[in-house]
Amino acid sequence: MQRLWLPILLVVVGIGLVLTFFQGAIAKRIMRAGLERAQAADSIAERPDGLHVVLCGAGGPLPDPVRSGPCVAVIAGQRVFLVDVGSGAARRLPRLGIQPGRVDGVFLTHFHSDHIDGLGGLGLQRWVGGTHKLPLPVYGAEGVSEVTGGLNQAYRLDAVYRTAHHGPEVVPPTGAGFHPVSFPEPAEGEGTVVLEDEGLRVTMFRVEHPPVVPAVGYRFDYRGRSVVVSGDTNQSTNLERFAEGVDLLVHEALSPELIAIVGEAAAANGLSAIEKIAGDVPTYHATPVQVAETAAAVGAGHLLYYHVVPPLPVPGLASVFLEGVPEAYDGPVTLGEDGTAISLPAGSDRILVE
Ligand SMILES: [Zn+2]
Ligand SMILES: [Zn+2]
């Protein structure tokens, strides 16, 4: 037996020495292969024609390792649109096979910081990644031009440096920044078609997120398939109007039970501002059960939770978050994380969770 141990030990030590000696070379080879794969990744071309949703950010304003700030990528055919761009979302996109240079436009639901604090970085990555000659269109209700104007000002010097360094052929100066496309907030019961092109229709409708005005959601219709993205809202009868019969309802939710624990922890630490905020936020978000009731009321084919608040860092919290949901809605439910993807192939009624 002892005779066997010695050669095994020598082999293990030998492998260890070789790995240590060639560590750098091996790491560089892995890096090269990984980059080649990541840069070539194009999950858009690989999908069948249809409407597809990929969560580039499934979280809200609080830091969450598996949920970036709110961002919903909606792919219609070969075109890519984002609903809101929260913190971390733009950096998540390439890892989901969506190159920022491919983004055709952004729809903003409202101007809370967590919904726009990834937009500056996305604009830069989209510009340099796609050699765009026109700025990124940003659709929204009134107020959107104030946001894009501020970002254009903040990133103006950066754009000058990039063009000077890399040349106008690579980063054309006319393509930097954002172009606002602003609409009045639609009245209750009325929808505004903000984009109608190549078979895609995007309709803006009002939601309830007081005191935040304007606050809107969007309905996407493409080749017989449909998606509604709620933005931030209380349980909303107006959203129910526009989500009637929708294939996929992508809805925000906040768990009052779990946010109360955030408030209690803040109180225990004497953090009175955090305690106050934790007490305030349930007034302008929907609970998971209310969202399930909405999904049932409109007959949604599938319910996808995003803007999941608070973060769920402990195993078992997901089931607390979803308590009471199956009783309210008997359809399929997905609790979103970054990268959650749901496909609605055209010419079918299939709903595929990837
Ligand atoms: Zn929010
Ligand atoms: Zn909000």
Structural domain includes residue 48: yes
Other C-beta atoms closer than 10 Å to the C-beta of 129 total 16
- pLDDT computed for residue 9 by the predictor: 86
pLDDT in tens, 137-161: 999 999 999 999 999 999 999 999 9
Gyration radius of the chain over CA positions = 23
DSSP assignment string, 196-224: EETTEEEEEEE---TT--S-EEEEEEETT
| 36 in a structural domain | no
The rounded distance, in Å, linking the Cα atoms of 303 and 329 is: 9
- 20 domain residue, yes or no: no
pLDDT digits (tens, 9 = 90+) for 298-346: 999 999 999 999 999 999 999 999 999 999 999 999 999 999 999 999 9
What pLDDT sits at residue 176?
97
Q: Within a domain: residue 31?
A: no
> What CATH number is associated with residue 91?
3.60.15.10
Domain that holds residue 76: 43-353
Q: How far is the CA of 199 from the centre of ligand 1 (A)?
A: 30
HSE at residue 61, side-chain half, CA atoms within 13 A, is 13
Ligand 1 ion local residues (Cβ < 5 A) = 60, 112, 114, 232
For residue 79, being part of any structural domain is answered with: yes
Q: How many CB atoms lie within 10 A of CB 36?
A: 10
Average pLDDT over residues 115-122: 97
Give me ligand 1 centre to Cα 109, in Å.
Answer: 9
Enter the pTM of the model. Answer: 0.93
Q: What is the pLDDT of residues 206-228, one digit of tens each?
A: 999 999 999 999 999 999 999 99
- Residue 3 resides in a domain: no
Q: Which two tokens stand for residue 354?
A: 């990837």
| Interval between CA 300 and ligand 1 midpoint (Å) | 23
Could you report the per-residue pLDDT of 173-183, keeping only the tens digit for each?
Answer: 999 999 999 99
278 is a domain residue: yes
In the chain, the number of structural domains is: 1
84 CA distance to ligand 1 middle (Å): 10
CA of 60 to the centre of ligand 1 (A): 5
Supply the DSSP string of 214-265, one letter for each residue: S-EEEEEEETTEEEEE--S-SS-HHHHHHTTT-SEEEEEEE-HHHHHHHHHH
Look at residue 39 in the predicted model and tell me its pLDDT: 83
Predicted confidence band of residue 234 (pLDDT cuts 50, 70, 90):
very high
What are the residues whose beta carbons fall under 8 Å from the beta carbon of 118, sequence distance 6 or more?
57, 68, 69, 71, 85, 86, 87, 88, 89, 90
Ligand nearest to the CA of 211: 2
What ligand is nearest to the CA atom of residue 215? Answer: 2
Classify residue 21: in a domain, yes or no: no
CA–centroid distance, 8 to ligand 1, in Å, is 57
Q: 303 or 45: whose pLDDT is higher?
A: 303
